[in-house]
Chain A
Amino acid sequence: MTDRPKRHDDDVIVCRCEDVTLGEIRRLISEGYHTIDEIKRISRAGMGQCQGRTCRHLIARELARALGVPQEEVEMPMFRPPTRPVLLSTIARGEGDE
C-alpha cells in the first residue's frame, strides 16, 4: 500500500450505495487506478442501487484533481444495460406476461 498523507475529509462517503470513502478513492488513485472503471472494479463504487448516478461525477472530479487534468478529459465508465437494478424474479420470468 502506498504511503499517502491522511487528509481531514478522507472518511467522507463518496459512494453511498457501496459505502466507499473519499480516502479509499484517493488511495486507489495513488496506487495507479486512474480511470473510473478501474476504481469501480476494485472498490465497487458505482455498482450499487443508483448505478453511479451519485458518485460518478465526484470520482471524476477527484481523478481530475489528482491527475491535474480538466474534468472533461476523465474518461467515463462503460454504460451497460440495465439502467437500474432488476429483480432476479424478473429475469427468471423472462419476456412476456406469464
Chain B
Amino acid sequence: MRQAETTRTVNLLKEVDVAVIGAGPAGLAAALACAEAGVSTLLIDANDAPGGQLVKQTHKFFGSERQHAGTRGIQIPSLFTEKLANYPNVEIMWNTNASGFYDSGELVLEDEKRFMKILPKRMIVAAGASERFLIFRNNDLPGVYGAGAVQTLMNVYGVVPGDRVMMIGSGNIGLIVSYQLIQAGVDVAAVVEAAPCIGGYLVHAAKLRRAGVPILTSHTVLAAHGQESVTGATIAEVDKEWQPMPGTEREVECDVICLAVGLMPLVDVLWHAGCEMKYVPELGGHVPVRDENMRTSNPKVYAAGDSGGVEEASSAMVTGEIAGISAAKSLGHQAPGADARLAQLKADLAAIRSGPTGEKISAGVRCATVCGGVWE
C-alpha cells in the first residue's frame, strides 16, 4: 500500500523547465520568451482565458510600439496566444490556481477539483496585484465596489454598476474607469482624491473635466449611507496630515462608491519560496528583492509584472520577457539574438520609467534591486 502510494505520487509529479504563474501581460510575455528559447513551459492562470487585467482594458495603450502602443488592451492577449500556439513545448492550464510552493521545490496547483504537483526547474511568478480597500463607515454596504469589479462588470459583461457613481482615487485606474462609466451612460458624481493633486495622467483627467465631472483633490470619503444599499456618501476635505477637517463635510448623492485607491503586489507564492522581501511603498507594498534580470534571492524563482511591483501593462510585458529570457538562459537555453533582445528590453524599461510619472517607480525599483544589480 505504502509502496503504491509512493509510486502514484512519483508518477503524477510533472516535471517542467519553467512554470509561469499568471497569464496576464507579464506571464504571457514570460511564457513566450521561454517558448522561443526552447524550454518546456507550463503557463497557469486562475481564470478561464488569457490576459489578466487586459481583458477589461478597452482603451488604447500609450508608449512604444514594441509594447503595443495604439492597440487596445483587450486585443493584446490573442497576439500572445496566437504565437504560443505554434510552440509544442508550451502547455497552458486555465482555471488553475497556484496553491503553494514548498521547500522540496514542488509547486502545488489546484483547479477546485484536484491537486497537481509540479516540479519546475524555474518558476516565474507573474500573479499580478490585488486592490486596496479603504476604511470608512458602512464600507460593507452593497454598492461599494473596487474599480476592478466595476471595469469587469462593464467591459467584460456589459453591465453597468448603477446610475450615479462616486469614484475614490484619481490614479489612472480611477480616471479611466470614470470616463468609461460616462461612455456607458452612467453619471459620475465626482472623483475624490485625498492627495493635493491627481495621481494619473493629465490627459485622462482633462477628459473628465471636459465632461463636467468635478475632481475633488484633498478630499476623502467618511461614510456611505443607505439601508439595503448605497444611496449616498459623506465626503470631507483633508488637511496636510490626511485628517478630515471638521465643518467641511458634505453629502453626495450616489448609488455606487467605486474604490480605486491603489494596488498591492500579489506575492504569496514568493513568500512561500522564501524569497527576500522588502516593503517598498512606491511599488505598492512588499515586493521581492531582485536583480536586473528579475531573479529573486531564490535562484530558481523570478518575479514579473505587478508581482515585482505595481506598474502598468507595458512594463509588465517587458519585465515578463526579461524574466522569461533569463530563466531559460539560466537553464542553458536561449533563442538566437536573446542577449541583444535582453539589452533592448532593459533600455525599453528605462524609457517607460523615465519622465515625471516614472520617477516614483524608478526610485522604488532602485530600492528593491539587490546591491550592485546582480546576486553574488
B residues near A12, Cβ cutoff 8 Å: 135-139
If over half of A's interface residues share one DSSP class (helix, strand or loop), that class is named, otherwise mixed; here it is loop
A residues near B110, Cβ cutoff 8 Å: 82, 86, 90
Q: Are A95 and B12 in contact (CB under 8 A)?
A: yes
B201 at the interface (CB under 8 A from A): no
B186 at the interface (CB under 8 A from A): no
Contact status of A96 and B130, CB under 8 A, knowing A16-B140, A81-B100, A83-B97: no
Q: What are 13 A-B contacts defined by CB distance under 8 Å?
A: A13-B140, A22-B135, A71-B279, A71-B281, A72-B281, A81-B102, A81-B108, A83-B100, A83-B269, A94-B115, A95-B116, A95-B117, A97-B114
Contact of B286 among A76, A94, A95, A97 (CB under 8 A): A76
B residues near A83, Cβ cutoff 8 Å: 97-100, 268-269
A84 at the interface (CB under 8 A from B): yes
A56 to chain B: closest residue by CB = B264
B375 at the interface (CB under 8 A from A): no
Shortest A46–chain B CB gap in Å is 12
- Number of chain A residues whose Cβ lies closer than 8 Å to a Cβ of chain B: 32
A87 and B111 alpha carbons, distance in the complex (Å):
10
B179 at the interface (CB under 8 A from A): no
B residues near A94, Cβ cutoff 8 Å: 114-115
Contact of A53 among B101, B130, B135, B277 (CB under 8 A): B130
B residues 258-287 near A (Cβ < 8 Å) are 264, 266, 268-269, 271-272, 277, 279, 281, 285-286
B8 at the interface (CB under 8 A from A): yes
B65 at the interface (CB under 8 A from A): no
Total number of A-B contacts with CB less than 8 angstroms?
86
Q: Are B114 and A81 in contact (CB under 8 A)?
A: no
Contact status of A82 and B114, CB under 8 A, knowing A16-B140, A95-B9: no
A80 at the interface (CB under 8 A from B): yes
Contact of B114 among A53, A57, A72, A93 (CB under 8 A): A93
Q: Are B137 and A82 in contact (CB under 8 A)?
A: no
Contact status of A14 and B135, CB under 8 A, knowing A90-B115, A93-B114, A95-B9: yes
A36 at the interface (CB under 8 A from B): no
A55 at the interface (CB under 8 A from B): yes
Q: Are B135 and A9 in contact (CB under 8 A)?
A: yes
B133 at the interface (CB under 8 A from A): yes
A66 at the interface (CB under 8 A from B): no
A53 and B102 alpha carbons, distance in the complex (Å):
21
Q: Are B113 and A90 in contact (CB under 8 A)?
A: yes
Interface contacts beyond A90-B112, A96-B8: sample of 12 additional A-B pairs, CB < 8 Å, sorted by A: A9-B135, A16-B140, A22-B135, A51-B268, A54-B130, A83-B99, A89-B113, A90-B113, A91-B115, A94-B114, A94-B115, A96-B114
A55 and B114 alpha carbons, distance in the complex (Å):
29
B209 at the interface (CB under 8 A from A): no
Shortest A83–chain B CB gap in Å is 5
Shortest B159–chain A CB gap in Å is 22
Contact of B264 among A11, A22, A57, A93 (CB under 8 A): A57
Q: What 1/0 flags go to B158-184 for Cβ under 8 Å of A?
A: 000000000000000000000000000
A53 to chain B: closest residue by CB = B130
A12 and B97 alpha carbons, distance in the complex (Å):
32
